[in-house]
Amino acid sequence: MKGKVYLVGAGPGDPKLITVRGLECIKRADVVVYDRLASPRLLAHMKPGAERVYVGKLPDRHTMKQEEINQLLVDLALEGKTVTRLKGGDPTIFGRVGEEAELLVHNGVEFEIVPGITSAIAVPAYAGIPVTHRDMASSLSIVTGHESPEKLDQSIHWDKVTNATGTLIFLMGVAKIGYISEQLMFHGKAPSTPVALVRWGTRVEQETITGTLADIAEKVEAAGFKPPAVIVVGDVVKQRDMLRWFDKKPLFGTRILVTRARAQASELVQLIEELGGEPCEYPVIQTRDVSEAVQTQAIERAFDEAESFDWLMFTSVNGVESFFRWLRRYGTDIRRFGRARVAAVGPKTAEALQERGLTVEELPSKFQQEGLLDQFGTEVQAGQRALLARGDLAREVLPRELRALGVDAVELDVYETVLADNQDELALEQLRDGEVHVVTFTSSSTVTNLLALLRANGVEDPVSLLAKTQIASIGPITTQAVKAAGLEVAIEPEEATIDALVAAIVAKRLADRTNANGVNML
């Protein structure tokens, strides 16, 4: 039985700019064939066991010729596989999708073309340049610039293009910017016509350079401006000074490594993205419910004694979620703990409890175990019994202090933290290439596990590698682990929360962009 091929536009670079249909195609594919302009972060949505094939082209070399790509799609489909061909931008705009589809038709292979957001429009928009404007341009031409001057002259009617449209968009024409400018001026465009080049638009590496037809080639050469970039010619470029928005975000240009477990990383990832940064997910830990007989028996015993506890204490969201899974597993009604008052370390832990209908008595001011008993004052008394639902790596501070007060503290391991099975080659490559600006640690285990994973993936000296980035630690306990590993902490918030951590990263990055005269370099 033949498979099916989805020819999908991946959008201009930001993985969130893919269409809903395009994302569905990635998730269902047996094989994803992708190129350099499609965000590798989209591959995280592939189903387990799916194959990925890189066929991207670089300006100076081709990994695979177009004819070979066409045949590859046919061969994979004839093997009965569902294939998603990811192409940067929109596949029908200089994406050679017609050639790929033609060979599929000739071989009787079913296919579907899934449009994408073209870089011709999206990239200028991210630079603050709308390609049309009622007072400046009511028409648009999209032209390929990735050709020799001779081929450009054969494929482009310069006299008609120059005078027939308001805004000109050239794709893949950085190396030919001088020739393009010359031809446009020769055929009637004023030398003062505004021009902008936007490199790697919508991504963390986005750069924009502006000028006029008369001087843009000189500026591009002086700046060492490299492809890929979109060239915008026309009065709409004047809108950039007023409308630029993406490169004004506080974390613009910042790639941040997120080491939290994937299930807990969403809040941090979302905050980074909203502030213009790029989260690079490299989960180094994963949590799972305990499974050893001695541990499960302890949980069952604690549930049998539910009525005897005066306190239920939680130190993490993971502890809350796992505790309630165990309640369901054993068919235990939470109301059996009705005598107990509920305490939580940290606002997110409290929120997780409140979502389950429980009222939290108090919160420590600094969201650490050391502050919990200070907040409770005389509420915790000798002779009381407290159940601490937590992970296997939880610190001993809280149970030790409780016992010092004469409280019967029952430590209940409901989940365990283990080294993640992380095979994210992109994150590792970005770390090695110095493309990660900040590494975040949200617990001591994220520190030790990241070092272990890097060593397991062939990094001989992970400490030296990480020392090239800024380290952001969520709080003093995590900072101790960072320093013990031989690293320095550049960022630590006053409160051990994700919101405070991100705010501290923003403050540090903005300070780094400000010169000695107090001028913000954004």
Name the 3-class secondary structure at 79: coil
Report the distance separating Cα 258 and Cα 250, nearest Å. Answer: 18
Of 14, 90, 172, 348, which residue is the catalytic one?
172
Active site residue 1: no
Tokens at 107, concatenated = 């071989």
Task: List alpha helices for 291-376, DSSP H.
Answer: 293-304, 317-330, 347-354, 369-376
Contact 309, 386 (CB under 8 A): yes
Active site residue 172: yes
Tokens at 95, concatenated = 């994406």
Element (H, E) at 417: strand 408-419
CA angle 23, 29, 32 (to 5 degrees): 85
Name the 3-class secondary structure at 254: coil
Sheet holding 82-87, edge to edge: 51-54, 31-34, 82-87, 4-9, 110-114
Of 57, 219, 249, 508, which residue is the catalytic one?
57
Of 14, 30, 35, 90, which residue is the catalytic one?
35
Q: Which of 224, 223, 213, 138 is nearest to 182 (CA)?
A: 213
Name the 3-class secondary structure at 101: helix
Q: Is 89 left (phi over 0), alpha (psi -120 to 50) or beta?
A: left
Active site residue 151: no
Report the distance separating Cα 217 and Cα 75, nearest Å. Answer: 44
DSSP 105-164: HHTT-EEEEE----HHHHHHHHTT--S-BTTTBS-EEEEE--S-HHHHHHH--HHHHHHH
Q: Which of 520, 513, 473 is nearest to 493 (CA)?
A: 473
> For 418, phi and psi rounded to 5 degrees?
-130, 165
CB crowding 110-143: b at 16 or more within 10 Å, else e: ebebbbbbbbbbbbbbbbbbebebeebbeebbbb
Q: Which of 371, 396, 366 is nearest to 496 (CA)?
A: 366
Quote the DSSP letter at residue 358.
Answer: P
SS3 content of the chain, % helix, strand, coil (to 5): 40, 20, 35
Name the 3-class secondary structure at 378: helix
Tokens at 484, concatenated = 């013990």
Contact 57, 65 (CB under 8 A): no
Report the distance separating Cα 25 and Cα 278, nearest Å. Answer: 24
Tokens at 369, concatenated = 């175990």
Instruction: Please give the positions annotated as active site.
Output: 35, 57, 172
